[in-house]
Amino acid sequence: MSKPSVPPLTSMEIFRSAELLVKGLRRHASACRIVTFESYTDNRTLDRPGFGEVFFDASGIDAIHIVPRNNDWYQYPEIDEACRRVRALTAPYPHVVAYGQSMGGYGTIRLGGRVGAQVALAISPQFSIDPGVASFEPRWAGDSARIDFAIERRATHPFVAKAYIVYDPHDLDARHVELYRPHTEIVDIGLPNCGHPASGFVVDTGILQEAILDLCRGTFNISALHAKARPAHHTSPILYANLAARHRHLPRRIRLSAKASALSPSDPSLLGQYAFTLATQ
């Protein structure tokens, strides 16, 4: 007997404004529903795939995707209404997980509870890029200078109750994690030298895909994740590239850059890093 064909991926529009789109897919009747928050992007259109949209559909998990047009760290007056509509749709599910990275990680923790999530998986999230809150953060200076943070500043709603945070403890991201600690229960998933965002390392090694599915199933195991991450350190070009960027000893930097490029010879950014390091001799 032939296997029934799977219908094409089509999303239902839940909310749309000039700056924000919320769309969802419900065809699997899964026990868990994922709510994803989009990360920083140069693709300034609302009509793009949501964060992990294809992956979650292929994995049989119902998902809702929150997609902003611009990199505004979810500072939209209509975010209240968008979250209200999402929460109404997640309410029937026994288990709801918020998920995102970097700017999306900010959304998962700060807004996860408002969309009905019990837990969040946040990869390299910022606590804030408001200079009045995180004066140590220079990486998005152009954005922080133009964004009006009035919505963040006057927010009184609680953060998501529990957040699994994947981050590099040697990166500036660690300071953001510390700022979150008084506001939510944090489960630290510190992966040294994985950089920002940490997703590059955990996707390349296959750790992230398994972790998010385990979290949806309620079988997430931190010890097992770290056990898989340790041997992956020796095969990750991203890790060697980060080590090279952080090392002060030039011959060591050259060897590390060469190793990163050799592990992924088709990656132009790693080849460029190696060439630049050689040029500094």
User: What tens digit of pLDDT does each residue of 226-260 get?
Assistant: 888 888 777 888 777 878 788 787 888 888 788 77
68 shares its domain with 206: yes
Residue 182 falls inside a structural domain: yes
The answer on 252 and 158 residing in a single domain is no
* Phi, psi angle pair for 134, to nearest 5°: -125, 70
Strands 162-167 and 95-101: unpaired
- Note whether residue 4 is domain-resident: no
Quote the mean pLDDT of the chain: 90
Both 256 and 193 in one domain: the answer is no
In a shared domain, residues 226 and 248? no
Residue 73 has pLDDT above 90, yes or no: yes
Query: In the prediction, which pLDDT does 1 show?
Result: 39
- Whether residue 6 is contained in a domain is answered as no
Number of domains in the chain: 2
Same domain, residue pair 135 and 66: yes
Question: Do 78 and 175 share a structural domain?
Answer: yes
Residue 229 is assigned to a structural domain of this protein:
yes
One domain for residues 244 and 168: no
pLDDT-based confidence at residue 6 (cuts at 50, 70, 90): very low
7, part of any domain? no
Phi, psi angles (nearest 5°) of residue 55 = -60, -45
Domain assignment of residue 248, yes or no: yes
53 & 108 share domain: yes
Residues 6+ apart with CB under 8 A from 87: 114, 115, 116
Amino acid sitting at position 165: I
Is residue 146 domain-resident?
Answer: yes
Tell me, yes or no, whether 1 lies in a domain: no
Q: What is the value of pTM for the model shown?
A: 0.90
Reduced to 3 states (helix: H, G, I; strand: E, B; else coil), residue 10 is coil
Of the pLDDT bands very low, low, confident and very high (cuts 50, 70, 90), residue 123 is: very high
Phi (first) and psi of residue 66, to 5 degrees? -100, 120
Question: Among 1-5, 96-100, 123-127, 218-222, where is mean pLDDT lowest?
Answer: 1-5
Per-residue pLDDT tens for 201-215?
888 778 888 899 999
Count how many Cα atoms sit within 13 Å of the Cα of residue 185 in the half-sphere of its side chain: 5
**Cβ–Cβ under 8 Å, residues 118 and 69:** no
Do 37 and 136 fall into the same domain? yes
Q: In this structure, are 131 and 118 located in the same domain?
A: yes
How much is the CA Rg of the chain, to the nearest whole Å? 20
From edge to edge, which strands make up the β-sheet containing 62-68? 12-16, 20-25, 62-68, 32-37, 95-101, 119-123, 162-167, 185-190
Where in the sequence is the domain holding 273, given as residue range(s)? 237-279
122/35 Cα distance (integer angstroms): 12
Residues 210 and 243 in one domain: no
16 and 22 Cβ atoms separated by less than 8 Å: yes
For residue 184, the domain's CATH number is 3.40.50
Do 267 and 217 lie in a common domain?
A: no
